[in-house]
């Protein structure tokens, strides 16, 4: 039994094992994993929650949903005591999405006799989304060594970026970012990013793959941009910029049309957005199998 709270705990070998497993599930292989899993979602989600639930069903796991205000956390119970409750009830794993950063987490994991799987914690990590993005990029490009990957948008508040930058780097890709300076973390160099583009047009010219991110309004405590309209003009994927892309583009979703990406080209031939969603099922099946076996 293993936990997955941060991708930074995974070696390249372990990432490859998970992605190989996802590939075999996508190819039609099936596996049975016994036990019960709780899906504890304290933040809204469409694709992560539903694909985790579908993945559990595909593997034959008993699945229980605990959403938002329906848990005793609203009565003051701590997150740790909630997890101990699931442990006492014999759950094998808990998939969690929470608005806070779960760090440090090593002691918490050690004190639990169940598998903890992170489906997004605050601005910290979104391991399965990072794995999906690398899996999808590997399918599209074959090899990522030396490939140039550009993340555009709200880098500061993005847990998807923090998981992705590590995973793309271990496959040898060069990761750069672009966005308003107000939304670029001060410690961006420490995260493994060598270059920050102020101009998305220059970034697009540099990149083989561009990943647009949503403005994480729910995590922004102040106004970081003058308006969504000016943001789209400066950093969004417009129809004109779309013509200049020499590779594919991705977005982890949910997309804000005409803020991140022009609606008209969201599902164009250069888009991997729906491939990311499809791959979500297989990557989450692989993570569940890897953690729970």
- Of the two residues 6 and 129, which places its CB atom closer to ligand CP in the complex? 129
- Of the two residues 7 and 197, which places its CB atom closer to ligand CP in the complex? 7
CA proximity to 277, closest of 50, 112, 124 = 50
The residues, ordered by sequence, that sit 6+ positions from 206 with a Cβ below 8 Å of its Cβ are 148, 150, 176, 195, 197
In angstroms, give the least distance from the CB of 111 to ligand CP: 27
Q: Which helix (H) or strand (E) holds 99?
A: none
- Of the two residues 119 and 197, which places its CB atom closer to ligand CP in the complex? 119
Query: Under the rule (CB under 6 A), what is the footprint of ligand CP?
Result: 45-48, 120, 129, 252-254
Two structure tokens written together for 250: 């991705």
- Of the two residues 120 and 180, which places its CB atom closer to ligand CP in the complex? 120
- Of the two residues 48 and 197, which places its CB atom closer to ligand CP in the complex? 48
What residue is closest to ligand CP based on CB?
Answer: 48
In angstroms, give the least distance from the CB of 254 to ligand CP: 5
In angstroms, give the least distance from the CB of 253 to ligand CP: 5
In angstroms, give the least distance from the CB of 133 to ligand CP: 10
How many CB atoms lie under 10 A from the CB of residue 190? 8
Q: Which neighbouring-strand residues pair with 261?
A: 237, 257
| DSSP-derived secondary structure letter, 28 | T
Two structure tokens written together for 131: 């794995």
In angstroms, give the least distance from the CB of 217 to ligand CP: 13
Rounded-to-integer distance, Cα 146 and Cα 265, Å: 27
């Amino acid at each position: 039994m293993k936990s997955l709270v941060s991708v930074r705990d995974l070696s390249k070998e372990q990432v490859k094992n998970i992605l190989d497993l996802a590939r075999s599930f996508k190819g039609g292989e099936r596996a049975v994993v016994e036990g019960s899993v709780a899906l504890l979602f304290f933040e809204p989600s469409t694709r992560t929650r539903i694909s985790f639930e579908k993945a559990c069903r595909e593997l034959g796991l008993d699945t229980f949903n605990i959403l938002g205000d329906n848990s005793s956390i609203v009565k003051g119970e701590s997150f740790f005591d909630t997890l101990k409750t699931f442990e006492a009830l014999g759950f094998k794993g808990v998939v969690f999405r929470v608005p806070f950063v779960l760090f440090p987490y090593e002691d918490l994991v050690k004190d639990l006799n169940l598998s903890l799987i992170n489906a997004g914690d605050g601005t910290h990590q979104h391991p399965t989304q990072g794995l999906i993005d690398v899996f999808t990029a590997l399918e599209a490009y074959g090899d990522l060594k030396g490939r140039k990957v550009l993340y555009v948008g709200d880098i500061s508040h993005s847990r998807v970026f923090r998981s992705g930058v590590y995973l793309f780097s271990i496959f040898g890709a060069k990761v750069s970012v672009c966005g308003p300076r107000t939304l670029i973390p001060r410690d961006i160099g420490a995260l493994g990013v060598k270059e920050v583009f102020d101009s998305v047009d220059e970034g697009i010219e540099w990149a083989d793959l561009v990943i647009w991110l949503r403005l994480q309004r729910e995590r922004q405590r102040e106004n970081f941009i003058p308006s969504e309209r000016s943001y789209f003009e400066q950093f969004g994927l417009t129809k004109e910029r779309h013509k200049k892309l020499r590779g594919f583009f991705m977005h982890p979703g949910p997309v804000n049309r005409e803020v991140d990406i022009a609606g008209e080209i969201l599902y164009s031939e250069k888009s991997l957005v729906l491939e990311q969603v499809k791959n979500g099922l297989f990557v989450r099946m692989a993570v569940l199998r890897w953690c729970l076996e």
